[in-house]
Structure 1
Amino acid sequence: MKTDAGVHGHHISQQFNQELEEIKSSMLEMGGLVEHQLGDALSALISADSDLGTTVRAKDDAVNDMEINIDEACNRILARRQPAASDLRLVLAIIKATNDLERIGDEAAKIARLAIELADQGDSSKGYVEIRHIGERVRHMVNMALDAFARYDAEAALAVAREDVSVDLEYGTAMREMITYMIEDPRSITRVLNVIWALRSLERVGDHAKNIAEHVVYMVMGTDVRHAGLSGMEEQVKAELK
């Protein structure tokens, strides 16, 4: 595990230190909002609560605004401070993580829209067990990724990447089950398709959480592991921890 001092230095300019901490705090605050948005979207879907789904969709603008504000703050630091080494990696990682958080917010808004449509289509439990289970796992992944970022913890980031592999396997199983439902009962096709889109959004949330974990590894170690695969990421992190 890394500490703040181990990733970006403390500068003579206290103002620079403050600027770096502020953009990091803003990104983590955005992450908390997105986590909450995702949780509400899942609740709306499982409980067929169209009002909650509408509320989640309305909050998407706030997430978008936060992304813009954080990007602007990062660009100001890049232009005025011209950071190097670990400071530059921190700023770039925040920019990339913020983009992934915005995408998670988009997926939450999609799930909320599907919740409204499914509520209008009537009650059915098909697919909800899968949604609940995968939903809980990807929410935990987002939380783990943000915690790893907050603590500059490459080992914790690696755990997120490992979890994504398991989520992908579970997603594949759930998709096969949904197709079986549609074959057995063609009348359920429209409804089950909406469940499939919700599951697809959750799988994408997991991918974005994994991306954030990869940004943590880059920030801490200076190594780009985006195309290394899980085994390559494990090798890099283990080598750093020796």
Structure 2
Amino acid sequence: MPSRSQEGRSATGGVPRHAFREQDAVWAELLAMGEAVVGSLEKSVQAVCEGRIDLIAEVKEEEEETDRREVQIEQECLRILALFEPVASDLRRMATVLKVNRDWERIADLALRVARRVRKLGRKFPDIVAPDSLKELARAVHAHVRASYVALAEIDAAKAREVIAGDQAIDESYRAVRRQLKEQLAAHADQLDGWLLLLNSARNLERVADHATGIAQTVVFLQEGTIIRHTPQG
């Protein structure tokens, strides 16, 4: 989406300059929130891959901060829509804020769920270790989310489409992990709850990837004005 100077947009559209400043401010807050969520997810992945349960308290604090930010950003975005009635690319940007704001909040929530299950597994089933396939899935999901953040920050539809294309590989990895964990579950029925914790973690990681893909689809809409959800390319 090509950028225009605040002065130029004000001169051509008759919209107060401060309206564009406020749009820019809420956009910057969305990006800051996204960057924080990517960092929080990284800590959750470290908990899965390295047993860093010491990071779980930080993930929880950051999830609570994300909840606060989500409400604040939504309220500010709705205020801008009501007061200034943006059109064209500015309206798309505000619609993007509302959509992606929710996606970041859900990713933060799922990251906390994954981290908490790591802690519960360690406390109740210390003999069960996350398989390498689950660790690889966790790292792949984190890379997927980070890539969606970069596409959003740069408003780059080409990079966003790469994220969308990469979702299939995440899904395939998830299905492989799920099969492996179900086999372990059947072989170790006495530790049913422990393997279910890992199975649930894998599912939550796959859902994180879905939200990252949703962010990428929204970036395409932002730059091109095209909704590609539920289409062959989306």
Tell me the residue number matched to 2:98. Answer: 95
Alignment of 1:52-63 (within 5 A): 52-63=55-66
Question: 1:208 aligned to 2:211?
Answer: yes
Cα-to-partner distance string for 1:160-183 (whole Å, 9 max, x where unaligned): 111111100110011000011112
Are the counterparts in 2 of residues 45 and 116 from structure 1 also a CA contact under 8 Å? no
Match of 2:233 in 1: 232
The residue number in structure 1 matching 2:47 is 44
Of residues 74, 80, 84, the one that matches 1:81 is 84
Aligned-pair identity (%)? 28
Once the 2 structures are TM-superposed, how far is the Cα of residue 29 of structure 1 from its aligned partner?
A: 0.6
Give 1:171's aligned residue: 174
Query: Structure 2 vs 1, CA of residues 89 and 207 (structure 1 numbering), >3 Å: closer, same or farther?
Result: same
> Bigger CA drift: 13-22 or 62-71?
13-22
* Shift of residue 126, structure 1, vs aligned partner: 4.1
Q: Find the partner of 1:160 among 156, 159, 163.
A: 163
CA–CA separation in structure 2 for the residues paired with 1:4 and 1:191: 51
Please give the residue correspondences for 1:1-242 in structure 2 after superposition, counting only pairs within 5 Å. Answer: 2-5=1-4, 10-12=9-11, 13-124=16-127, 126-228=129-231, 231-233=232-234
Aligned length: 228
CA contact (8 A) 1:54 1:113 kept: no
What is the rounded CA distance, in whole Å, between the counterparts of 2:4 and 2:143 in structure 1? 27
- Which piece of structure 1 moves more, 112-121 or 102-111? 112-121
1:127–1:178: 8 Å Cα contact kept in structure 2?
no
Query: Residue 207 of structure 1 aligns to which amino acid in structure 2?
Result: D
Secondary structure of 1:225's match? Answer: coil
Q: Deviation per CA, 1:116-143, whole angstroms, max 9, x where unpaired?
A: 1012024346433122211111111111
Runs of 4+ in 1 over 4 A off after TM superposition: none
RMSD: 1.8
Q: Is the 8 A contact 1:45 1:114 kept in 2?
A: no
- Answer yes or no: is the 8 Å Cα contact 1:127–1:192 preserved in 2: no
Aligned-partner residue type, residue 56 of structure 1: V
Please list every run of 5 or more consecutive structure 2 residues that lacks an aligned counterpart in the other structure: none
Q: Report Cα offsets for 1:78-113 as digits up to 9, x if no partner.
A: 011100111101000111001000000110110121
Contact 2:48 2:130 in 1 (8 A): no
Confirm or deny: 8 A CA contact 1:49 1:119 kept in the other structure. no
Q: Deviations over 1:16-71 (max 9, x none)?
A: 22212111111111011111111111222333343322331232110000101111
Structure 1 letter corresponding to 2:233 = G
Which shows bigger deviation, 113-122 or 91-100? 113-122
Give me the TM-score of the superposition, normalised by structure 1.
0.88
For 2:166 and 2:106, the matched residues in 1 are separated by 19
Classify the secondary structure of the residue corresponding to 1:127: coil
